[in-house]
Amino acid sequence: MKQDIGYRESYWMTNLICDVIENIDLMKKSILCRAFHGELSTNNPYKESALELLKEVLRERVGLT
């Protein structure tokens, strides 16, 4: 059974989609800003990976080091 969405639902969905698009744009700008300020890691194989850094932090928090 096909059910048409009403004006209120359509308006709500449109606003939701616009909010999502706006949030995506803000995230893109934030990532670019961090990249230009050198706050993002590089693909340098000699630097510690994020995974290894996370492991180290977790070990410290549980008192294994």
pLDDT in tens, 40-49: 766 677 777 7
Q: Which token pair is 10?
A: 């359509």
| Residue range 9-42, pLDDT digits in tens | 889 999 999 999 999 999 999 988 888 887 776 6
User: How far apart (Å, rounded) are the C-alpha atoms in residues 64 and 57?
Assistant: 10
Which is higher by pLDDT, 13 or 54? 13
Tell me if 5 sits within 8 A of 13, measured CB to CB: yes
User: How far apart (Å, rounded) are the C-alpha atoms in residues 50 and 58?
Assistant: 12
- Within-domain flag for 48: yes
Domain interval for residue 47? 7-62
Looking up tokens 């909010």 gives 19
- Within-domain flag for 52: yes
- Within-domain flag for 1: no
Looking up tokens 């359509």 gives 10
pTM, two decimals, is: 0.51
pLDDT at 49: 74
- Within-domain flag for 2: no
Give the total number of structural domains in the chain: 1
**How far does CA 16 lie from the centroid of its chain?**
18
